[in-house]
Amino acid sequence: MTSRFITLEPSGRRIEIVEAGAGRDLLFLHGAGGHMPADPLIAALASQYRVVAPLLPGYGQSAGEDDLRDMLDVTLHTLDVLHALKLEQPVVVGHSMGGMIAAEMAAIARTEVARLCLLAPAGLWMDEHPVVDIFTRLPYELPGLLFHDAEAGQKLLASGGNMDDPEFLKQFLVMNARRLGMAGKLLFPIPDRGLGQRLYRITADTLIVWGAEDVLIPPVYGEAFKKAISGAKLVKVSGAGHAVGQEKPQAVLEAIKAHF
């Protein structure tokens, strides 16, 4: 995995782009947590595709988040990134918040997003199936919310830091505040910015993948996305939680390969 930077005009916003692998172009949009250390999904996808994974401002070394306030800002920003990257007919893959962004892009820009893969996307809300409020959760609760196998997930998430070390804690708080501060503009307090009324506009060939054991955004939302997007296919991956791509990278790769 390598990292490079592009600068968007006219904003001057500097965006970090993680790249890996070779093959057909695949744009990967991360979820609210950003990339995981040595992200297993990016690694698996890179065995078949040229994975291009921009970080949203507020994540990693991407800057300029203050000017991104709402869904439209973020959608257009990400379309600008897609344009600047000059990808060839990419498969656009988005996980969770990244799936919400990818779906918005596909609803707004039909020709630019013709192949769409949504991994447990956010963006819809059903009163009878509330999505977990991630903003109030404490760090130790995250593995259990993201992974079916919480213990294995804990190992994936741990970046070797010691929360009792004040300096590490401060760095963690800064990173967390930047990331989730940005995510909050799309997801807080309820992750619904009207995507539901725009899904009918999606004409992309669409694959939806859901972890069968997702407790954060329950799989019933997969059915709702499938129903709202014409011709969409839904694949459920057993033994996987919300971080379906990181928990079962091979299964997700196979599903994408088989579909596109």
Binding site for other proteins (CB under 8 A): 65, 69, 135-138, 170, 173-174, 176-185, 188-189
Q: Count of CB atoms within 10 A of residue 89's CB?
A: 9
Crossing angle (nearest 10°) for helices 166-187 and 71-85: 100
Q: What's at 48, amino acid-wise?
A: Q
Q: State in angstroms the smallest separation of the CB of 164 from other proteins.
A: 12
Residue 75 or 206 with smaller CB distance to other proteins = 75
CA distances from 171 to 167, 185, 194 (A): 6, 22, 34
Structure tokens at 138: 């404490």
Instruction: Return the closest-CA partner of residue 6 out of 91, 83, 112.
Output: 83
Decide: helix, strand or coil at residue 3: strand
Q: What's at 90, amino acid-wise?
A: P
Q: State in angstroms the smallest separation of the CB of 176 from other proteins.
A: 6
CA distance 145 to 48: 29
Q: State in angstroms the smallest separation of the CB of 95 from other proteins.
A: 19
Residue 178 or 242 with smaller CB distance to other proteins = 178
Residue 63 or 85 with smaller CB distance to other proteins = 63
CA distances from 226 to 125, 235, 242 (A): 15, 10, 17
Instruction: Return the closest-CA partner of residue 102 out of 85, 79, 81, 132.
Output: 79
Residue 178 or 198 with smaller CB distance to other proteins = 178
Decide: helix, strand or coil at residue 40: helix
CA distance 204 to 166: 48
Residue 15 or 186 with smaller CB distance to other proteins = 186
Q: State in angstroms the smallest separation of the CB of 216 from other proteins.
A: 15
Residue 184 or 219 with smaller CB distance to other proteins = 184
Q: State in angstroms the smallest separation of the CB of 136 from other proteins.
A: 4
Q: State in angstroms the smallest separation of the CB of 99 from other proteins.
A: 20
